Amino acid sequence: MNDSILTIALAQHDFLVGDIWGNLEKSLRLLDEARAAKADLLLFPEMALSGYPPEDLLLRPGFLEACREATGQFTAAVSGIDAVFGHPWDENGVRYNAASWIREGQVLGRYFKKHLPNYLVFDEHRYFTAGGDPLVVEIRGVRTGVIICEDAWQPGPSLSAREAGAELLLVPNASPYRANKQADRVATLADRHEETGLPIVYCNLVGGQDELVFDGRSLLMDRGGHVAAPGPHCEEALLLADFSPDGTLSWIGGYTDPDAPSPPPSAQSATPSSRDLRSEYPGPPPAGGKIPGQARDDAFAPDEKVAEIYTVITTGLRDYVRKNGFSDVVFGLSGGIDSSLVLALAADAMGPDRVHTVMMPSRHTSGLSIELAQEQAVQLGVDHRCISIEPPYEALLTLLGPSFAGQAPDVTEENLQARVRGNIVMALSNKFGWLPLVTSNKSEFAVGYCTIYGDMCGGFAPLLDCSKERVYELARYRNTLSPAIPENVISRPPSAELAPDQKDEDSLPPYALLDEVLQRYVEQDGSVEDIIAEGYDADMVRRVARLVLLNEYKRRQGPPGVRITSRAFGRDRRYPITSGWRDV
């Protein structure tokens, strides 16, 4: 190692899956920006060229050919700065998750990811062959190794890099968010540092991709094991860091202290990406933001996790809408807690002028529900309409009357109301090209307390991985920023209002209790007997477990939604619909 400082740029940016040429254009622009900032090296996230995860696009020969061509074009453009560039690589029919070290139009070496994750949301064994050989390149007198994402979670690759002479370790990542993930990242890097003594530069992807949200928060760990404050959360940034001869790593540019107060949304000027994915949307107001003349609710003190989850959901919603070619969203606003939270999330993610809500009252809808929906829509400034479902509902009852003769009313008539509402939302979506949102939460999806082809109609479910208790936490948190959800919405008992004087707890255990059981049964894979042994009522636990098993078919037909736990329905938790297994 010599006495000069090595300046490293980290491209903590959003790369759209499958948009090879758009990602190439963006990468070339970032290369120019890093060069202008006098960086010696630009580190990209894992699979920046293809976006992550490209899934079965990797099985298409044309996709791999385009990746090879674009990688060649990027390589030829590199001059005056080194680049470590993440991309898929096909070599004689063998696919690799690769990072190429490029200097002056030449590839000095390619590192192929060794540890291919095949758990939770990851399926890399389906697509890639594991690499093995370390890659160490000298730059400004510093011998620098490269490993990719999961390789940092295992001891082997970093040790191999050190044994090959590395004095510094670069880690490109596509590491998706889940609650408490950042603490695990820091602990993992600390393990690698303890094993190798190497300083580490960790560059993460950012942005929403279907269910996943990549939250950025790139990291630096110096030779002494000290961690610099993370890069921005869920924001694009070209970060600059200096690596000094004494092993110190520190941010020098493109970085904002996450604890510093933010300007109000009207004063922010988001830096647009090459695809202009973010430039139009304001995001939630800063903590402590107020609307003149309205008081804040200071009774709720949110923890950091609730705040970051709110940001992750708005990021995932915004990016799903825009990346799939929509401009606006539409959903039913019932005056209940779930749809009210979705309204706040959508207004923060998209801007209120792109949000459309519809109250669809029936004979069972209370006047308070209609008033609260109207109040919130006016408060947040969104387009709102009221369409009664009584005429089509009555017409369907008349139509089905002969077939239902002699049968007592039951849940069929309740579900019919939900399906009329689903048709109205889908008609508005179809007519105006708005993306319909589903407002159900994880607790409801778990036990099937939602109507397939009814309130499950829609293209995206922002609360899919949020328990009912988490919904209340998020609602209270949002109101600490500025008034967004009427207090009466939060305090009133939840009800589907599909029958006279109906309450959710008529059909389900209290949500606080239900969520405790679901946490153990769904997220921790606990057995029914173990949960009962903790002191929970045996009949209640068995009933909840049975509902979870019986409603797999509903969840399989439901929309995607933002993942915030390690056992989200869908990618993380894959159960058969047709199954003879019962543990109830």
Q: What is the mean pLDDT of residues 454-480?
A: 96
Are 18 and 121 within one domain? yes
Domain boundary (227, 253, 279) is at 253
Q: What is the mean pLDDT of residues 89-100?
A: 95
Listed in sequence order, the DSSP H helices in 455-510 are 468-481, 487-491
Strand-pair category, 329-332 with 435-436: parallel
Query: What span, in angstroms and rounded, lies between the C-alpha atoms of 137 and 51?
Result: 25
CB hemisphere CA count around 236 (13 angstroms): 21
Task: Output the six-digit token pair for 423.
Answer: 């048709």
Are 197 and 311 within one domain? no
Domain boundary (235, 253, 271) is at 253
Residue 548 resides in a domain: no
Are 316 and 422 within one domain? yes
Q: What is the CATH number of the domain that holds 179?
A: 3.60.110.10
Query: What span, in angstroms and rounded, lies between the C-alpha atoms of 560 and 3?
Result: 52
Are 249 and 358 within one domain? no
DSSP element (H, E) containing 35 = helix 20-36
Are 215 and 363 within one domain? no
Q: Provide DSSP, 526-553.
A: --HHHHHHTT--HHHHHHHHHHHHHTHH
Are 226 and 349 within one domain? no
**53 preceded by cis ω (within 30°)?**
yes
The lowest-confidence range among 353-357, 541-545, 565-569 is 565-569
Residue 523 resides in a domain: no
**Strands of 383-386's sheet in order across:** 383-386, 355-359, 329-332, 435-436
Are 328 and 191 within one domain? no
- Is the model's pLDDT at 289 over the cut of 60? no
Domain span at residue 98 reads 6-253
Are 341 and 211 within one domain? no
Are 181 and 33 within one domain? yes
Q: pLDDT tens digits, residue range 421-445?
A: 999 999 999 999 999 999 999 999 9
164 and 111 in contact (C-beta within 8 Å)?
Answer: no
Q: What is the CATH number of the domain that holds 437?
A: 3.40.50.620
Q: What is the pLDDT of residue 552?
A: 94
User: How many Cβ atoms sit within 10 Å of the Cβ of residue 201?
Assistant: 25
Any long-range contacts for 182-186 (C-beta under 8 Å, 24+ apart)? 182/215, 182/217, 182/230, 185/217, 185/219, 186/219, 186/227
Would you call 313 helix, strand, or coil by DSSP? helix
Q: What is the pLDDT of residue 85?
A: 98
Q: What is the mean pLDDT of residues 310-325?
A: 97
Residue 271 resides in a domain: no
Residue 500 resides in a domain: yes
- Is the model's pLDDT at 285 over the cut of 50? no
pLDDT band at 364 (very low <50, low <70, confident <90, very high): confident
Q: Is the model more confident about 574 or about 420?
A: 420
Residue 411 resides in a domain: yes
474 and 310 in contact (C-beta within 8 Å)?
Answer: yes
SS (H, E, C) 64-85: HHHHHHHHHHHHHHCCCCEEEE
- Is the model's pLDDT at 294 over the cut of 50? no
Residue 230 resides in a domain: yes
User: How many Cβ atoms sit within 10 Å of the Cβ of residue 120?
Assistant: 15
Q: Is the model more confident about 576 or about 114?
A: 114
Are 213 and 345 within one domain? no
Q: In percent, how much of the chain has pLDDT > 70? A: 90
Q: pLDDT tens digits, residue range 126-174?
A: 999 999 899 999 999 999 999 999 999 998 999 999 999 999 999 999 9
- Is the model's pLDDT at 284 over the cut of 70? no
- Is the model's pLDDT at 24 over the cut of 50? yes
β-sheet bridge partners, residue 484: none
Give the residue numbers annotated as catalytic, written as ranges.
46, 113, 149
Are 195 and 310 within one domain? no
Q: What is the mean pLDDT of residues 543-555?
A: 94
- Is the model's pLDDT at 279 over the cut of 70? no
Are 192 and 317 within one domain? no
Query: What span, in angstroms and rounded, lies between the C-alpha atoms of 171 and 249?
Result: 14
Domain boundary (463, 483, 505) is at 505
Greatest extent of the chain over all pairs of C-alpha atoms, in Å = 91
236 and 206 in contact (C-beta within 8 Å)?
Answer: yes
SS (H, E, C) 109-134: EEEECCCCCCCCCCCHHHCCCCCCCC
pLDDT band at 508 (very low <50, low <70, confident <90, very high): confident
473 and 302 in contact (C-beta within 8 Å)?
Answer: yes
Q: Provide DSSP, 325-355.
A: T---EEEE--SSHHHHHHHHHHHHHH-GGGE
Residue 377 resides in a domain: yes
Q: What is the mean pLDDT of residues 182-208?
A: 95
* Number of structural domains found in the chain: 2
Query: What span, in angstroms and rounded, lies between the C-alpha atoms of 111 and 98?
Result: 6
Residue 442 resides in a domain: yes
- Is the model's pLDDT at 264 over the cut of 60? no
